[in-house]
């Protein structure tokens, strides 16, 4: 069962925009960091953008200045605003969160792995 839920995927024309949303529970949302991945058909999954709990974000070169990741703490939702979309952005987009461990019911440390995943949302950009 997916612990994160993505939405917002659609089919758009070259140059169009979409905003993806990723909603999860309070105990997962951005506790240790979250990210957006994508997987084009027949290719490997790649990290597109990540954000740490302090708000520091990063992007792969191909989406810099076109994509923007932002969290909404009040809604436990992570957004990915995608502008000037290109056909090569076509992929299934996944939201993920870094896992953590508890000790005696209390947060102890973050792992370095994305342990929570959504089921993905399809983005198709046509020329």
pLDDT tops 80 at residue 1: no
* pLDDT tens digits for range 25-64: 988 888 999 999 999 999 999 999 999 999 999 999 999 9
How many CA within 13 A on the CB side of residue 116? 25
* Per-residue pLDDT tens digits for 69-117: 999 999 999 999 999 999 999 999 999 999 999 999 899 999 999 999 9
Give one DSSP letter per residue of 58-108, joined into a string. EE-GGGTTTEEEEEETTTTEEEEEE-S--GGG-EEEEEEEEEEEEETTEEE
Nearest residue to 50 (alpha-carbon basis) of 66, 65, 25, 68: 68
Residue 2 confidence class, pLDDT cut points 50, 70, 90: low
């Amino acid at each position: 069962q997916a612990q994160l839920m993505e939405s917002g995927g659609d089919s758009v024309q070259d140059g169009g925009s979409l905003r993806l949303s990723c909603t999860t529970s309070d105990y997962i949302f951005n506790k240790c960091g979250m990210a957006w991945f994508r997987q084009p058909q027949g290719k490997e999954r790649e990290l597109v953008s990540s954000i740490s709990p302090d708000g520091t974000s990063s992007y792969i070169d191909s989406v810099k200045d076109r994509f923007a990741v932002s969290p909404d703490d009040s809604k436990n939702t992570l957004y990915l605003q995608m502008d000037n979309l290109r056909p090569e952005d076509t992929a299934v987009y996944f939201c993920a969160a870094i896992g953590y461990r508890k000790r005696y019911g209390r947060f102890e440390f973050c792992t370095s792995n994305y342990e929570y995943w959504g089921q993905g949302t399809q983005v198709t950009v046509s020329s």
